[in-house]
Amino acid sequence: MPIPEVQLDHAFAEALENNPGFRTWLISEGRFWRHPNAALLCTEQETARKSAKHWWKHWWTRLPDGSESETDIFSVWECDGFRFAIHIENKPPHGNLSFIQAATYRRRATFMANQPRWLSYSDFETIILAPSSFIERHRECANQFDRAITYEQIARFVPLMQAALDESEKD
């Protein structure tokens, strides 16, 4: 049976919160590489949404056109007074991704920027997180994100990602 996406999201967020090496790797490989020691503002995110069960999950947004959507894993970071956000869409081996869903990530991140409700970040990066085979099959959609991170790349930090890959090979 496939590992549920929410379980994979949770494992990723837990590694982000508890593994400084993973945080440094994530930041160093992306557009904010100049800020490898940026602080993850998970406590501030928890405070901003007291009713939420997890600091990283269910950050829903209603865009000006009336559409609503959420970011799978939302994190805000700070370094020397500069705040940035990382918006991650996780797609497990058995997942689907539409072009509209992929394109909405950038629109949502732009809309959320500089607003206190979303911790007033001034810049952002969007990431598709998925197995390499998924990214290859959905290249046009994956290109809507700033970068792709594969399960294979982060399995050393988030072992459940390797388990999801292994499980998908059994199918």
Closest CA to 126 of 87, 98, 100: 87
The per-residue pLDDT for 49 is: 86
Tokens of 44: 């501030």
Q: What would the DSSP string read from start to end of 140-157?
A: HHHTTSSEEEEHHHHTTT
The per-residue pLDDT for 171 is: 63
Give residue limits of the domains in the chain: 5-170
Amino acid type, 97: L
Q: What is the pTM of this model?
A: 0.96
The per-residue pLDDT for 149 is: 99
The per-residue pLDDT for 52 is: 81
- Per the listing, tokens 């999801």 go with 164
CA distance 15 to 130: 16
Ordered per-residue pLDDT tens for the chain, 171 residues: 899 999 999 999 999 999 999 999 999 999 999 999 999 999 999 999 877 889 999 898 999 999 999 999 999 999 999 999 999 999 999 899 999 999 999 999 999 999 999 999 999 999 999 999 999 999 999 999 999 999 999 999 999 999 999 998 876
CA distance 25 to 19: 10
